[in-house]
A = this chain, B = another copy of it.
C-alpha cells in the first residue's frame, strides 16, 4: 500500500515549473506540477515533483471507474456498443453525437435524463453551447460532460436490480464497485483515503499520483489480473481507441491525440489540471497534476512527458505540433508569446 501524507496547505516540497507562458523575451506565467510514470509493479520509471502527495484524480480515472460496467456483465446484458463504452469513459463535449448516443442508451434502459444525478451545465463545446443559447435551449443533465459515466453506472445498477435513485451516493454499490476496482488496480485502500465530492456529484477520492499511475500501468499490461479483468480492460481499450471522438470531442486534446496514436497511447483529462495516460505497448501508466489546476498547462506537460520518454514518436509530435507549443495572440492578433514546456 502507498503511504498517504497528511496534506499540508503550506507544504514544504515545491514542485518544478513544468509549463510557462512567455510574453516577448520574458516568462510571464509559470505552472508548477508533478508527474510520474510507473510500471505495473509500482516502480517509478520517471518522476518530477512530489508524486506521493494525495491528489484528486477527478475525471482522469473514468476508464478505471468503468471496469464494473464490463466485469458485472452489465455491458453485455444491455449489448452496449463500443461507442457507448467509450462514452462511459468520457468527459464529452455535449456535441449532438454525444447527446444523441447518451439519450438513446438511456432509452434502452427505460430511462431518460431525469434519471441522471449529475448537475446540468452548458456544453464544453463552445459552438454547441452558443447554438443552444441562440435556440433558447437550457442545458440539461445529459449535457454534463460526465453523463456517459453516469449512464454507465445506471446501466450496472439496473442490470443488478439495485435502486437507481441515489446511485451517486458514496455508500451505493455503484460507487463501492469502482472503489474496489481502483483500490485493486492502484494498491490503495480506497475507504481510508480522504474523499470529497466531484464536479458531477459522485465521490472523488484523493490518492498519490504513484497509485494512479500504477493503476494505469496495470491497465496497460493486465496479464496478471485474471481473465475477467483482462477481458474488461481489452474491451475498454478497444472501445476508446476506436472512438476517440466519443471520449471528448471537437478541438479536444484527448480526441486529437488518440486519433493519431490509436490504441498505442490512451490519454484522459481530469478537471483542475489532471491528466493520465495508458501505454499498452510499453506497459506503463502516467499521472500528472498541475498545482494551480490549469488545464492548458496539464495538456502541454502531458505531451512533453510522453515525448521525453519517447512514448510519442517524432511523427506523433509532428501531427500534434500545434498542441506542443501554443502561440499566444493578443486582441490585435499580434503574437505575444508561447505557452510551452518549461523544462524539456
On A, residues with C-beta under 8 Å from B are 7, 9-10, 14, 16-17, 20-32, 54, 56, 117-121, 130, 133-134, 144, 194-201, 204, 206, 272-273, 291-294, 297, 330-334, 336-337, 342-343
A326–B174 Cα distance when bound, in Å, is 32
- Asked if B121 and A21 sit within 8 Å, CB to CB, the answer is no
| A195 touches which of B24, B120, B294 (Cβ 8 Å) | B24
CB distance from A117 to the nearest CB of B (A): 8
25 contacts between A and B (CB under 8 A): A7-B25, A7-B27, A9-B17, A9-B342, A10-B16, A23-B196, A23-B197, A26-B194, A26-B196, A28-B272, A28-B293, A29-B272, A29-B292, A32-B291, A117-B332, A119-B331, A119-B333, A133-B133, A133-B134, A134-B134, A197-B330, A199-B331, A200-B332, A292-B292, A292-B294
- Asked if A332 and B119 sit within 8 Å, CB to CB, the answer is yes
A199–B332 Cα distance when bound, in Å, is 8
- Asked if A330 and B29 sit within 8 Å, CB to CB, the answer is no
CB distance from A267 to the nearest CB of B (A): 21
What is the count of identical protomers in the complex? 2
CB distance from A136 to the nearest CB of B (A): 9
A334–B198 Cα distance when bound, in Å, is 9
- Asked if B197 and A334 sit within 8 Å, CB to CB, the answer is yes
- Asked if A24 and B343 sit within 8 Å, CB to CB, the answer is no
A206–B336 Cα distance when bound, in Å, is 14
- Asked if B201 and A332 sit within 8 Å, CB to CB, the answer is yes
| A196 touches which of B9, B25, B134 (Cβ 8 Å) | B25
- Asked if B331 and A121 sit within 8 Å, CB to CB, the answer is yes
With A23-B56, A118-B331, A201-B332 as given contacts, are A29 and B194 in contact (CB-CB < 8 Å)?
Answer: no
- Asked if B294 and A56 sit within 8 Å, CB to CB, the answer is no
- Asked if B24 and A200 sit within 8 Å, CB to CB, the answer is no
A293–B54 Cα distance when bound, in Å, is 24
With A10-B343, A204-B23, A342-B10 as given contacts, are A199 and B330 in contact (CB-CB < 8 Å)?
Answer: yes
CB distance from A326 to the nearest CB of B (A): 14
Which residues of B lie under 8 Å from residue A118 when comparing CB positions? 331-332
- Asked if B26 and A331 sit within 8 Å, CB to CB, the answer is no
If A24-B195, A30-B291 are given as contacts, then 10 extra A-B residue pairs at C-beta distance below 8 Å, sorted by A number, are A7-B25, A9-B22, A24-B197, A29-B291, A32-B32, A32-B291, A144-B331, A199-B331, A201-B330, A292-B294
- Asked if A330 and B119 sit within 8 Å, CB to CB, the answer is yes
A20–B121 Cα distance when bound, in Å, is 24
CB distance from A272 to the nearest CB of B (A): 6
A20–B25 Cα distance when bound, in Å, is 29
| A330 touches which of B198, B206, B332 (Cβ 8 Å) | B198
A61–B32 Cα distance when bound, in Å, is 27
A144–B9 Cα distance when bound, in Å, is 38
CB distance from A55 to the nearest CB of B (A): 8
